[in-house]
Structure 1
Amino acid sequence: MKTRDVMNAECRYCAPGDSVVDAAKLMADEDFGAVPIAENNRLVGMLTDRDIVVRGLADGRDAAQTKIGDIMSGEIYYCYDDQDIEDVAANMGEMQVRRMPVVNRDKRLVGMVAIGDLARQAPGANVAGEALGEISRPAA
């Protein structure tokens, strides 16, 4: 099974020049804890609820004035839409992430995949359980 078969293709994203408040509202409205950051449909970063708290609010930044590009994670973990889900799950476990942006081979953002998507769509394969075991282990 390929990532495109289990991913959420209705991927919402923000731009680096958007305010942190814009991202926080999107996260609240859509009930997710991370949003991809893209320019011209090309993935340039990720912003998590933790980024907002640790790199934004804890540093005393004004969320309405702070741009996403100032606090987003520049290190991006992503997968391809034509990758086997077993490989994606293994990568999620190794990198200890619960969700990943999905890009096509032109590196255009086409969706998001979460550990829950793997569990729901491929329950017999146990790829989600194995990945979750790795994600949950204490970081070195």
Structure 2
Amino acid sequence: MSLSRFEHGAVSAELTESVTDVARRMREFRVGCVVVTHGARAIGIVTDRDLVLRVMAEARDPATTVVSDVVTYDPTTLQQTDSIETALRLMRERGVRRLPIVRHDGKVTGIVTADDLTVMLAAELSDLGAGIRGNVEATESR
């Protein structure tokens, strides 16, 4: 399966932005993370959890704390040509829930999240179940 369904852009931020601005952007776009970019290349990621643990829990001022203070550098990424199976494997092996999708030159084209994959796989299983239910009589066993 292709990653193209997840190439709808990703919400991004620059290192010099305040975390207040980033949190507002997350709220506006209803996302749990932003991809931190330099130019259009992914260099890091900031999650809603990062904001809680690295800003709120440390009683930092979100208006003066900048992304470079809370970013996780070097995010695990996927190439546009990778498969959903690769995304699942990387999430499992690296213990991450979000994977920016990048072109060969490193520019971000989208993001795939564990939630995205859960919804997609649940829909696939539902379709499979409906197909089985529609083609098998209740008394028949296969």
List per-residue Cα deviations over 1:47-73 (Å, max 9, x = no partner): 011111111122221100111011111
In structure 1, give the amino acid aligned to 2:113. Answer: A
- Runs (4 or more) in structure 1 with deviation over 4 Å come to 119-122
Residue number in structure 2 paired with 1:2: 2
Bigger mean CA offset, 47-56 vs 109-118: 109-118
Bigger mean CA offset, 111-120 vs 9-18: 111-120
Residue number in structure 2 paired with 1:40: 39
Residue number in structure 1 paired with 2:54: 55
Deviation at 1:96, TM superposition (A): 2.1
Residue number in structure 1 paired with 2:81: 82
In structure 1, distance between residues paired with 2:66 and 2:107: 22
In structure 1, distance between residues paired with 2:21 and 2:118: 30
In structure 1, distance between residues paired with 2:94 and 2:50: 17
Is 2:94 the counterpart of 1:95? yes
Does the 8 A contact of 2:9 with 2:108 survive in 1? no
List per-residue Cα deviations over 1:32-86 (Å, max 9, x = no partner): 1111110110111100111111111222211001110111112411111110111
- Unmatched 5+ residue regions in structure 1? 125-140
- Unmatched 5+ residue regions in structure 2? 126-142
In structure 1, give the amino acid aligned to 2:2. Answer: K
Residue number in structure 1 paired with 2:29: 30
Deviation at 1:104, TM superposition (A): 0.8
- Residues 69 and 106 of structure 1, relative CA distance in 2, 3 Å threshold: same
Identity, % of aligned pairs? 29
Residue number in structure 2 paired with 1:16: 15
Larger Cα Rg: Structure 1 or Structure 2? 2
- Residues 51 and 87 of structure 1, relative CA distance in 2, 3 Å threshold: same
In structure 2, distance between residues paired with 1:30 and 1:75: 23
Residue number in structure 1 paired with 2:129: none
The size of the alignment, in residue pairs, is 123
TM-score (norm 2): 0.78
List per-residue Cα deviations over 1:95-115 (Å, max 9, x = no partner): 222221111111111111123
Q: Counterpart of 1:25 in 2: which secondary structure? A: helix
